[in-house]
Amino acid sequence: MGFVLLYPRRKTAFAHRQGIALPWAPALILLLSIAAYSQTADSEKPIPILTGNAGAFSFVSGGHNLIDTQINPVLLVPLGDRWLIESRANFEGQFQRPADGGPYGGPVTKHVDYAQVDYIANPYVTVTAGRFLTPFGIFNERLYPVWIRALQPDPLILGIGTTSSDGLMFRGGFSVNSAVNLNYTAYISATSIGIGSVDSERHVGGRLGFFFPGARLEVGGSWQRTLQDVRKNAFGFHMGWQPPKVPLNLRAEFARSVYGSGYWIEGLYRLGQMPFWQKQMRHAEVVGRAQQFFTGQVAWYNSPWSLPWANTREADFGVNYFLHDGLKAVASYGRQFSPLGNFNQWTYGIAYRFAIPLGPTGAR
Amino acid sequence: MTGRITNFRAAGWAVALLLGVLAFTVPPCARGASAAGPSAKKDAANATANPPVVKATDADAMRVQGELRFRANCGRCHAAPQKFPPRMMATVLRHMRVRATITDQDMRLVLFYMTQ
């Protein structure tokens, strides 16, 4: 009996709900169709991308050959208008022939360079959280990828202040006036991890740079204070200059810490203006780099950073040839001078940058 | 109770009608402009309030400015890449905005230049 009484009531309530839902259904359909239409009509809405670079190189140092193969995938996932998730990993094999002969062998390592979430709060501030590349100087953040760097051997001072960070960072770039852009970073790394693939250091620091678009000149400085073990400061300066009328790219860094100090200066000249073999020359560039490292107050074996063991000088010269967009052949010669021994360093190889869309790319 | 239901039904039809009108009146370019960045939302709002009249000379000026900004910012670190499809380019530029701390305005002009 109760069932008989309840059933009509429930049916009536259902019918009422249907009556209310009826006009909302097309509203929902229209809303979804607008969202879908926005996705397809918007030709500039960012999509996820799998990009990165790969390379195969031969480093012959003092007669010993090291074959280095690596792939560094970068995943970029934009969310909405203001968010970006980005991550880069490094898979690298370094193979050498044993001293007593035999086949090449060696370790294959993997490393998470960064895995971060960026929130573009406004034109002046972007908030980054997670694991990020430490913005000390310019090489680590901007020039490190094998398809970007002009010479494949690392600068001697790269180890100073560039251990990965796990924490929070504020950064941004904006125009001060028509002649000057200011860029900055301020970060804190909260974890100290000793595991090789996700190593990090506890520190706080920042970088400030001024870019003069008219002269295409950038100058800036970095500072970092380690908050573990020996609480020490490191600081550095960087510059980059691309004269507007000459296809020249000049870059330099200086860094100083208790573990050592040094500098590198690099000049890259694109040969597109050569009056001969223009078809070939516009794909070629020559590069030279001079650098020096001085040991610091604390011995190298107490340093957590990868730095030379003695005062070292090095000069490198190289040629890069772009076979295709993102594909370049590299060759360089360098000589290193140090109390531990002088040696030649030959490098040759190939670097490739790839970019794979993970969604509809939009019409051209 | 019946009055409340009638009100809900009326509201539903009103929203459906409003969305229907919006679907056919809001220009797609204004809907999509928000993808370029936070400040582009303001541009989109302005574009909706003032119907966009994009002159060829404006586009040319933006293209020239975009190329200048491209060479000044991107050339600092690497050789000029090929032009990717527009939606890939938007992602790449958001990445580069963070990585290279380029300004919001530079990003939008370079995006315009690289997607032409």
Interchain CB distance below 8 Å, B32 and A360: no
Q: Please tell me whether residues A29 and A176 are part of one structural domain.
A: no
Nearest CA-CA distance, residue B61 and chain A, Å: 17
Mapping DSSP to helix (H, G, I), strand (E, B) and coil, where does residue B116 land? Answer: coil
Of the candidates A141, A322, A362, which has its C-beta nearest B87's C-beta?
A: A362
CA–CA separation, B66 vs B111, rounded Å? 7
Distance (Å, whole) CA A204 – CA A165:
9
Q: When comparing pLDDT for A52 and A38, which is higher?
A: A52
Picking from B98, B110, B116 by the largest number of A CB atoms within 10 A of its own CB, the best residue to mutate is: B98
Check residue A30 and give its pLDDT.
Answer: 42
- Give residue-wise pLDDT tens across range A167-200: 999 999 999 998 999 999 999 998 877 777 777 8
Q: Does residue A183 share a domain with residue A243?
A: yes
Q: Are A24 and A164 part of one and the same domain?
A: no
Short-list A207, A186, A336, A283, CA closest to B79: A283
pLDDT tens-digit readout, A246-271 = 999 999 999 999 989 999 999 999 99
Pairing type for strands A327-337 and A108-122 reads: unpaired
Position A333, amino acid: Y
Residues A119 and A234 in one domain: yes
Q: Is A11 contained in some domain?
A: yes
Chain B residue with the nearest C-alpha to that of A120 = B38
Q: What is the mean pLDDT of residues B82-99?
A: 92
Whether residues A23 and B91 touch (CB distance < 8 A) is answered with no
Q: Are residues A112 and A22 in the same domain?
A: no
Distance in angstroms (rounded) separating the CA atoms of residues B4 and B11: 10
**Closest Cα in chain A, distance from residue B66 (Å):** 13
Give pLDDT tens digits for A118-149: 999 999 999 999 999 999 999 999 999 999 99
* A195 against A52, higher pLDDT: A52
Among A12, A17, A44, A116, most B C-beta atoms within 10 A, so best to mutate, is A44
Does some domain include residue A362?
A: no
Q: How many structural domains does chain A have?
A: 2
Q: Do A126 and B97 touch (CB under 8 A)?
A: yes
Does A43 contact B86 at a Cβ distance shorter than 8 Å?
A: yes
A151/A279 same-domain check: yes
Identify the band that residue A53 occupies on the pLDDT scale cut at 50, 70 and 90. very high
Same domain, A152 and A19: no
CB atoms within 10 A of CB B95: 19
Assign A34 a pLDDT band (cuts: 50, 70, 90). very low
Q: A249–B97: do the CB atoms touch at under 8 Å?
A: no
Domain boundaries, chain B: 54-114
| pTM over cut 0.80 | no
pLDDT digits (tens, 9 = 90+) for A100-115: 888 999 999 999 999 9
Beta-carbon separation of A81 and B37 below 8 A: yes
Q: Mutating which of B4, B15, B73, B87 best tests the A interface, going by the most A Cβ atoms within 10 A?
A: B87
CB B73 within 8 A of CB B56: no
Q: How many CB atoms lie within 10 A of CB B114?
A: 23
| A187 in Cβ contact with A135 (< 8 Å) | yes
Say if residue A183 is in the same domain as residue A115: yes
Asked whether residue A38 falls in the same domain as residue A54, the answer is no
In a domain, A276, yes or no: yes
A1 and A84 in a single domain? The answer is no
- A279 pLDDT band, cuts 50/70/90, is confident
Q: Residues 6 or more apart from A243 whose CB is under 8 A from it?
A: A216
Sort out which chain A residues have CB atoms less than 8 A from B72's CB and list them.
Answer: 213, 216, 242
**Residues A70 and A5 both lie in one domain:** no
Task: Give the range of the structural domain holding residue A16, as residue numbers without chain letter.
Answer: 1-42
Residue owning tokens 């303001």: B42
Which residue of B lies nearest to A177 if distances are taken between CA atoms? B103
Chain A partners within 8 Å of B41 (Cβ): 81
What are phi and psi for residue A167, nearest 5 degrees? 170, -135
HEC string for chain A: CHHHHHHHHHHHHHHHHHHHHHHHHHHHHHHHHHHHHHHHHCCCCCCCEEEEEEEEEEEEECCEEEEEEEEEEEEEEEECCCEEEEEEEEEEEEEECCCCCCCCECCEEEEEEEEEEEEEEECCEEEEEEEECCCCCCHHHHHCCCCCCCCCCCCCCCCCCCCCEEEEEEEEEEEEECCEEEEEEEEEECCCECCHHHCECCEEEEEEEEEECCCCEEEEEEEEEECCCCCCEEEEEEEEECCCCCCEEEEEEEEEECCEEEEEEEEEEEHHHCCCCHHHHCCEEEEEEEEEEEECCCCHHHCCCCCCCCCEEEEEEEEEEEEECCEEEEEEEEEEECCCCCEEEEEEEEEEEEEEECCCCCCC
Contact B77 A143 (CB under 8 A): yes
Pairing, β A217-226 against β A312-324: unpaired
Number of A to B CB contacts under 8 A, please give it: 183
- Selected residue with higher pLDDT from A201 and A43: A201
Regarding whether A8 and A86 lie in a shared domain, the answer is no
pLDDT in tens, A311-362: 999 999 999 999 988 899 999 999 999 999 999 999 999 999 999 999 888 7
d(CA A337, CA A312): 6
Q: Which of A30, A78, A142 sits opposite B99 (nearest CB)?
A: A142
Q: Residue A363 domain-assigned?
A: no
A34 closest CB neighbour out of B23, B90, B92: B23
- Residues with Cβ within 8 Å of A184's Cβ and at least 6 positions away in sequence, in order, are A170, A171, A172, A173, A206, A207, A208, A209, B101
CA distance A197 to chain B (A): 22
Please name every residue paired with A322 in a beta bridge, in sequence order, or none if there are none.
A328
Q: How far is A241 from chain B (nearest CA, A)?
A: 8
CA distance, residue B54 to nearest chain A CA (Å): 17
A23 and B12 within 8 Å at the Cβ level: the answer is yes
CA-nearest residue to A360 within chain B is B87
**A76: CATH:** 2.40.160.10
The verdict on residue A364 lying in a domain is no
